[in-house]
Structure formats: structure tokens, C-alpha cells
Structure 1
Amino acid sequence: MNSTPGQTTASTFDLVECSLYAEFDVRVDPIEWCPLVELDPPVDVQHQQFRDETCLIDVRTHSDEPRTIRITQECDSLCPSKVLTDAGYIPRLNEIRPERVVIGIPLGDRTEVQDVVGRLRSVAESVTLRKLVQLGTDSSAETTMDLTDLTDKQRETVTLAITRGYYRQPRHASVDDIADELDISAAAVSQRLGAAESKVMRQVFDTLADGCE
């Protein structure tokens, strides 16, 4: 992966089977055991690795006196990053708050989105997709689906739709299936998905229009 996900250019809404970059909003119980939450935000995690049950993190603080520090901490089994690392993924902490972390992760294909969400939900209160980037062979062929402008309910519904295979061909889940899992009506699911898809489609075509100027 030789590009920065936040700088990719959308070219199509159709997500084909290829390498992806995904970013997740992971809401957890207050993680007082993690020393990162004691630092004044924003905090830039430059490097993180696990050695047995020990977590080593290099972070850059952006306080009045910015500095890079190394944190060594015995890792709790509830750590979202460790759960993913133990499963063979390479997560990156993009944002850390006392009750929320944003994790970016490169994936082999769309099927891994469901696996990652399932693993994160084993240690988190909720997990929603923030961004999904299709990584092409060059930057002009990449597609970004940015979900940060959606409401929480829309993001929850889209995340579930993606992980359950609603957008696959043929579909692996129906609107009724998603409605049953969320315990809401099928009409509410359709409304949320329609509104979310409209916002995402506008992003794609706005980007295409900018590229044609």
C-alpha cells in the first residue's frame, strides 16, 4: 500500500474485489488501563507493536511542547488493537479518546470487513465503519467511500449491511434480515440505506466533477 488513504480519489461507487483500506470507529468502555487516554488529545500514534503480552507504542503529543515518547504497557485482553494483531491483521490507531478509538487497517478483500467487525465487537460496545477505500494499481483508480458525514444510525445500518453481504451480488442478506437484527422496521432500514447511499454517491460524483475541471 503506497498511498495515503485520506488522499485517494474516488472514481466509481462499485466496490470490486480488490485490496482495501478500512477505518472503524470503535466505542469501548472507559479504558483507564491504557496510558494513551491520559495524554492530552490529539495524539499521533507513530508505531505500535506487541511482544507477548506487552504493548510498545511510540506516540507524538501535540501539546504546548510537542514530543515523541515511548510507552511500554502490559496489554489487556480487551485491547482492540491486540485482538486484531492476534488475528494476523496490521491495525493502526488513528485517534484515541477515553471512550472511543479510530482504527485503520489494510484488508485483502471485502470479506475481511465482516471478520474485523466481529472481532472488534467482541471487546467493544459498538463498531461502525468510517471509511472504506478500494486500493487500485495507481492513485487514479482508487475509490473512497467516506461515511463520516452519515448519522450514527445510518452508519450503524450501512456497516451491518456491508458485513452481512447486502451489497454483494447475489445478495447474502435482505432488508428484512437487517431490520430483524437491528430490531427496527424494514421501512426504517430502507430509509437509512437510501439516505446514506445518496450522500456517498454525491461524494463520488463531486470528486469526479472536480477531477474533470
Structure 2
Amino acid sequence: MPRATLKLKSNEALIALSKSHPDVRFEVRSAWPTDGKLRVLVETSAIELPSLTETIAEIPELTAVELRHATERSILFEANTPIPDPHGAMAESGIVPSFPLRLEDGWLIGDLTASKNQLPAFRDELEAAGIAYELVQVSATTDARDLLTDRQREVVELAIEHGYYESPRSCTVTDLASILKVHKSVVSRILHRAEARIVTSYWSSC
């Protein structure tokens, strides 16, 4: 499945917190729905507790705030926020966010794992709700090892170990064939088929 890095302004309470301290980076360590709200676990290490407490008190959408941990190096707290539209859209579409999410200068930034059909549908939901977003990057996340037979995986791993895919190459097909005690045409055929599977899977998932 493709993995997308997305920037969006989806949670007004967290956006207000971030905008109050634009030079401070917050991390949303986790989030879960509870009693019609979204409970978030937030950590920061670049702000003093009195300043953070004052800011939170000025944001009415942040409720049931609970300090979990506070030292000179970091502050960890929980709070309730209204459930933003994208959270419901992600839950319905099966899109999985990867925590922690970064909160920087009014933007919530994180990675999402979605199928090539789910991602466009999620973007449509954001646009329909009028939510500002930026799609920063999309990359494939298929594990190539799951695509290969045991023999193909064995030969590819051997090729990697001996520098066959380095530039310049540290070994040749003939070298690999000698290690495996087979004809070089056998190694060449196995590598070709393995590489074809990996490339085809990557292309189809983008």
C-alpha cells in the first residue's frame, strides 16, 4: 500500500495551540474517541509548563486536560478536543495514521497508509469539508520479501550481501553462480524474475 505524508489543518483546538507557539514542535503521541470527543496525548519539549498551561486555558475547545508528565526536558498531557471531520473519514475508509503526528506552526503532519483507491477518496473528503491540506509525499510500502519465492529471496539476499546492487558492483552474476554452485544463466534468470516482481508491484501500488 502507498504511504502518504500529509499536512492538514483538521483539529481547531490543536491548531490554536500550535499557532500560539509557532516555533514550538508538539507531537500527538496517540488519539482515540471517547464520549463524543477525541482524546489526544500530546508531548512537547520546547516550552515551559506555566506558558503551556496559560495557553491551554485560553483555548475553550481543549477540555478535561490532564498533566501526565513534566520535567525540564519534556511535558506530556492529555486533553479532549472536538472530533475533527478527517478522523471520521479515516475511520470509515480504513486509512491508518501512523503516530506520532507532528504539530508545527498550525499544521498537523503525519504519515497515512492507504490503498491507491482510499487516498483519493480521503482527499475528496478533505476538499468537500473545506479543510486545508498539502500532500507532501507518496511512496510505496509493499514488503518486497513477501513478493518472492524462497529461492528468489535467497538469491536476492545473497546478491545484496555481496554488493551486486552497489555502484560499481562488487560482484558479478558469475561470482554469485559460483557461490550457489549453479550455472550463471540460472542466477540471471532468478534475479530477472525477482526484480520484475518487485518493480511491477511497486508500480501498481503507486
Structure 1 or 2, whichever has the larger Rg, is 2
